[in-house]
Structure 1
Amino acid sequence: MKKIVFTGGGSAGHVTPNLALIPKLQQRSWDVHYIGSKDGIEKGIVEGASIPYTGISSGKLRRYFDLKNFKDPFKVMMGVMEAYALIRKHKPDVVFSKGGFVSVPVVIGAWLNKVPVFLHESDITPGLANKIALRFATKIFVTFEEAKAHLPKEKVIYTGSPIREDLLKGHRETGLELLGFTMRKPIIIVMGGSLGAKRINEAVRAALPDLLQHYQVVHLCGKGNKDESLEGTEGYRQFEYISSELPDVLAAADLVISRAGSNSIFEFLTLKKPMILIPLSKAASRGDQILNAQAFEKMGYCHVLYEENLEKDTLLEAVQHVQKNRLRYKENMLRYSAENCLEEIMGYLEKARKK
């Protein structure tokens, strides 16, 4: 039987592309196992999808000073030993890594076992984990064509972003029923990422009285970030996080307000949803979301509102602008197709197995 080990974690964005590939591979009789951290967000997501999962030790890779930086290298070393043993036990034909700090021990463990390693890099510039892992990789798949300039040219392959098939099967009517919304007003969906976004939450709630005059709003605000005083507000629904219902909710949405994580914005692009992107600032990140958002804006897919400029009035202006120009955004999005991405990646995995 064909065998593959997946890894990636630390955020939902390091898991969802794997979940796009796994069902396709299972349909082709691949045996799938997932290696992640012992208590990261990926554990709940993967186990919730009924995929065999094993947790290993992992230490976070930081670009800034922290006392944990002295302890975490030992966790990474322990993780390498654990991953090496697991890969030796499962004997996979290939390992597929989506990045995140837990992926580094798994990639090294695979390389030590002489198992081909395939990486997927979502952003224009590689994250720290993939910067370390790429030297052990057979091939590196990239979402943005611009990423090719930042990676070894003999390894990099432009494929686009793997999109979960179930995301394309949402029903607007089911989403409206779930939300308790009507078709009389457009629907805005606000997504701050799997962990939420404090600045976005605050701006949306400040603008809510004005927004609800013309729109209905579904707000995915992150764990622990619900505002109980807003429960029951007509035309407004808030959730910490939704999973199985997301395809239907997205099908019901007319406009998206979101961070600029690569996986999410390519999902919105595939669904042809006009977007307002609010990338993480450089003060809070390495700037990857800013590059993602700028690339989308250049293609005419979105309007960018930088976090430094985010407040009630600028958010309302952005919503008005995107709603007014929504047909132009949708027309630009029609140029993009994600159909070939999954097949191309799976083709490389099949070839590696036969060698």
Structure 2
Amino acid sequence: MNHNISPKIIFGSGGTGGHIYTGIAIANELIKKIPKTNILFIGSKNRMEMQEIPRFGYSIEGICISGGKDKFFSISGFILSIQLINSLFVANKIIKKFSPDIVIGTGGFVSFPTLYAAKRNKIPILIQEQNSFPGLTNRIFSRYASKICVAYEQAKKYFQEEKTIITGNPVRSEILKLPSKEKACFHLGLKIKKPIILSIGGSQGSNSINNAWIKGLKKIIELDIQLIWQVGKFDIHKIKKNEISHHSNIIFMEFIENMPICYAAADIIVSRAGALTISEICLIGKPYILIPFPWSSNDHQNRNARILEEKEAALIIKNEEIENKLVSSVIKLANDYSMKKKMRKNILKLGKPKATNDIVNEILQIIL
């Protein structure tokens, strides 16, 4: 590998943690292989990527675009129309100025103007699709892509076979080398011999998951179960006011910055069925309870979760049932040694530890 070359690469990544951390994982691997790589992210103004991506040392340019459940693609209002026109113009301006060798789309509405500008300027495109059912942006631009890297076998049928490759989802390298459970528990102030549950509500948190925990906290504490609880920005003040949530067995936070520590400490993980979280947990091999977000675009979270359930690698609780079922399901799983053992074994079979490396190799084949 020629370490003296300086490729220029743009990522269209934003909107959700899944799109953002996918881009960061690929960028980190690119820098590892070619240290002089010049990377620029394009994100959506006022979304989490504008804070998160600079935290990892990368530059980001913001465009004014919003979406959610394909709202972006069914534009009905004047404001959204103006946003679309403006974002296409700004993305085109950024790409012309930066003059990248390749543009990488990791899905989501912010990728649309970025990939459109790449196509318009005849710049090679690589698409990374995280879900079993591809998003609309990736389906539209797949015909112009040089390569499409998909996470699931089920996604292949939506793309041209000759340029689609199953790589799995890229994850940050620190997920592949977790600290010991002892170190993690010491860092978090938790007891190693008592069950530890990690609850992840997605990058914004989850009101329904939070309500289920609030209802069951007393029972959790009575059974001396410990809970690492990511509550999100919308419910953090409500949780802070709840006296029982300040018990020593409960650690709650708005956003988990040190995810590897929390993964290492956990005995059971409860989360939404976002593609990136699933990919990380398939690599660390922990018993897993999934609560698909019922309003995800194309119902992709439910589709992702079903793949794990079919392989007996995870349990699914429907969103409308979690207040009644979450705590009892966690307690039952915590006490079922054979079920936990089976889930660990089955989920590890689904992990793709070389995903990031394989995607980067595809990028380098296009630009070098």
CA-to-aligned-CA distance 1:16-47 (integer Å, 9 cap, x gap):
11111111111213211111122211111101
Amino acid paired to 2:208: R
Stretch of structure 1 that moved more, 77-86 or 264-273: 77-86
Equivalences for 1:129-144 in 2 at 5 Å?
129-144=137-152
Amino acid paired to 1:203: A
Shift of 1:6: 0.9
Confirm whether residue 351 of structure 1 aligns to residue 360 of structure 2: no
Amino acid paired to 2:233: K
Give the Cα–Cα distance (whole angstroms) in 1 for the partners of residues 23 and 291 of structure 2: 25
Confirm whether residue 49 of structure 1 aligns to residue 56 of structure 2: yes
Stretch of structure 1 that moved more, 166-175 or 106-115: 166-175
Confirm whether residue 311 of structure 1 aligns to residue 323 of structure 2: yes
Shift of 1:167: 2.2
Amino acid paired to 2:14: G
The share of aligned pairs that are identical, in percent, is 30
Equivalences for 1:148-159 in 2 at 5 Å?
148-159=156-167
Confirm whether residue 270 of structure 1 aligns to residue 269 of structure 2: no
Shift of 1:3: 1.3
Stretch of structure 1 that moved more, 338-347 or 98-107: 338-347
CA-to-aligned-CA distance 1:227-261 (integer Å, 9 cap, x gap):
12244312011001021x21111111110010001
The one of 112, 117, 125 equivalent to 2:120 is: 112
Does structure 2 retain, via aligned residues, the 8 Å contact 1:143–1:160? yes
Provide the aligned C-alpha RMSD in A: 2.0
Aligned to 1:36: 43
CA-to-aligned-CA distance 1:110-149 (integer Å, 9 cap, x gap):
1111111111111111123323333332222111111112
The one of 209, 214, 234 equivalent to 2:248 is: 234
Equivalences for 1:1-355 in 2 at 5 Å?
1-27=6-32, 28-29=34-35, 30-60=37-67, 63=70, 69-171=77-179, 172-212=181-221, 213-226=223-236, 227-228=239-240, 229=242, 230-243=244-257, 245-282=258-295, 285-312=297-324, 314-323=325-334, 324=336, 325-354=339-368
Amino acid paired to 1:344: D
Give 3-state SS (helix, strand or coil) of 1:334's partner. helix
Give 3-state SS (helix, strand or coil) of 1:196's partner. coil
Aligned pair in 2 of structure 1 residues 274, 103: CA closer, same or farther (>3 Å)? Answer: same
Give the Cα–Cα distance (whole angstroms) in 1 for the partners of residues 277 and 62 of structure 2: 25
Does structure 2 retain, via aligned residues, the 8 Å contact 1:163–1:338? no
Give the alignment's TM-score, normalised by structure 2.
0.90
Structure 1 segments unaligned to the other structure (5+ residues): none
Does structure 1 retain, via aligned residues, the 8 Å contact 2:212–2:327? no
CA-to-aligned-CA distance 1:40-95 (integer Å, 9 cap, x gap):
11111101111011112324265469986332133222212221221122121111
Shift of 1:339: 2.5
Give 3-state SS (helix, strand or coil) of 1:338's partner. coil
Aligned length: 351
Does structure 2 retain, via aligned residues, the 8 Å contact 1:108–1:136? no
Give the Cα–Cα distance (whole angstroms) in 2 for the partners of residues 87 and 153 of structure 1: 29
Aligned pair in 2 of structure 1 residues 231, 348: CA closer, same or farther (>3 Å)? Answer: same
Stretch of structure 1 that moved more, 199-208 or 131-140: 131-140
Give the alignment's TM-score, normalised by structure 1.
0.93
Give 3-state SS (helix, strand or coil) of 1:154's partner. helix
Give the Cα–Cα distance (whole angstroms) in 1 for the partners of residues 177 and 348 of structure 2: 18
Give the Cα–Cα distance (whole angstroms) in 1 for the partners of residues 261 and 70 of structure 2: 38
Does structure 2 retain, via aligned residues, the 8 Å contact 1:61–1:128? no
Give the Cα–Cα distance (whole angstroms) in 1 for the partners of residues 351 and 66 of structure 2: 37
Aligned pair in 2 of structure 1 residues 11, 294: CA closer, same or farther (>3 Å)? Answer: same
Aligned pair in 2 of structure 1 residues 61, 285: CA closer, same or farther (>3 Å)? Answer: closer
Does structure 2 retain, via aligned residues, the 8 Å contact 1:62–1:69? no
